Amino acid sequence: MALPPYASPVEKLWFWIFRGSCGLILLFLIAPVFVIIPLSFSSGSFLTYPLPGFSLRWYEEIFSAGPWMESLKNSLIVAPLATLLAMTFGTLAAVGLNRADFPGKGLILALLISPMVVPLVIVAVGMYFFFAQVGLLNSYTGLVLAHTVLGVPFVVITVNATLQGFDFNQMRAGASLGASPIRVFFTVVLPQIVPGMVSGGLFAFATSFDEVVVALFIASPTERTLPIQMFSGIRENISPAIAAMATILILLSTLLLITMEFLRRRSERLKAAP
């Protein structure tokens, strides 16, 4: 909506006010992300500008053995496992939902995506009592199961969306050519739904990698994940070490964003092709 050449001065004024405010809103969105990066290279111990000097001491701190590395290690154990479980369960369920009509389908779909809707603190308290009863409190297993629950709706939704345009007659065609159902699934179905699985998986991974509330309730200091370490760092002693870890997390989210964009463009291209 470029400005037409015949625009009146008032229209021109409005146009630039509109553009200007949109610019400010974009600045509001992006500034916090970028403001924190330079602070991680500060040689001082306060998170204020101007920087007293350049140093990598805060990266040294987070990358040397200690609570930061411990919590990063824990997150790198929990998040991939939870993502894998969520992708497996979620994909199977999404295929099942699209394979045939059966009674109660709407209700089941609602059940599968409900973890996305229920306030986190309620999930956390519920699981806290449940895991205490079955002995999974303060365990990696409990944390992985909890994060699987939180990640699964994303996989169900994205794979479900990918399957909307999927022609299940292809499975019949595969079977009629003599392939076993498992072979049909891996050679015919899977390649077509992989983008949905991956983007759902990325959502699930990001969820686990950024989840504080449930982990605060069900994990002991031994299983302390990176978000909990960040949380207590921000609350108790906000230092440039947090900015350093934040910079690494921003890098990670940039990677996630690029992957998602790539997947989106690929699926658009495939849709556009006849």
Partner 1 sequence: MSTNAVAARPEAPPEANLKKQLKRADRLRKFKAIGLVAPLALFLIVVFVLPIGSMLWRSVDNTELESVMPRTVAGLQQWDGSGLPEEATLAAFAAELRDSRRGGGLGKVGRRLNYEDNQYRGLLMRTLRGLPASSENWTQTLVEIDPAWGETTTWREIQRASPPVTDRYVLASLDLERGANGEIQRIDAQDRIYQSVFQRTMVIAGGVTLICLALGFPLAYLLATLPPKTSNMLMILVLLPFWTSLLVRTAAWIILLQSNGLVNQSLIASGIIDTPLQLVFNRIGVFFAMVHILLPFMILPLYSVMKGISPSYQRAAVSLGAHPFAAFWQVYAPQTISGVAAGTILVFIMALGYYITPALVGGPADQMVSYYVAYYTNTTNNWGMAAALGSILLALTLLLYLVYHRLVNRKQLIRS
Q: Which of residues 19-58 bind partner 1 (CB under 8 A)?
A: 19, 21-22, 25-26, 28-33, 35-36, 39, 47-49
Q: Which residues contact 225 (CB under 8 A, 6 or more apart)?
A: 71, 74, 75, 78, 143, 211, 215, 219
CB 57 → partner 1: shortest distance, Å? 18
The single residue listed with the structure tokens 């299983």 is: 223
Q: Figure out which of the listed residues 87, 204, 242, 244 binds partner 1, where binding follows CB under 8 A.
A: 242
Nearer to partner 1, 23 or 66 (CB): 23
- At residue 110's C-alpha, the angle toward residues 105 and 115, to 5°, is 145
- For residue 252, give both structure tokens: 């990670």
CB 193 → partner 1: shortest distance, Å? 13
Q: By CB under 8 A, is residue 201 in contact with partner 1?
A: no
Nearer to partner 1, 77 or 212 (CB): 212
Interior/surface letters 96-128, b for 16+ CB within 10 angstroms, e for the rest: ebbeeeeeeeeeebeebeebeeeeeeebbeebb
Count the neighbouring beta carbons within 10 Å of the beta carbon of residue 39.
Answer: 21
Q: Which residues contact 154 (CB under 8 A, 6 or more apart)?
A: 86, 90, 116, 200, 203, 204, 207
Q: Candidates 58-66, 76-84, 89-97, 193-201: pick the segment binding partner 1 (CB under 8 A).
A: 89-97
Q: Candidates 61-69, 76-84, 190-198, 202-210: pick the segment binding partner 1 (CB under 8 A).
A: 202-210
Q: By CB under 8 A, is residue 212 in contact with partner 1?
A: yes
Q: Figure out which of the listed residues 117, 177, 182, 273 binds partner 1, where binding follows CB under 8 A.
A: 117
- For residue 2, give both structure tokens: 């470029």
Q: Candidates 54-62, 66-74, 114-122, 187-195: pick the segment binding partner 1 (CB under 8 A).
A: 114-122
Q: By CB under 8 A, is residue 159 in contact with partner 1?
A: no
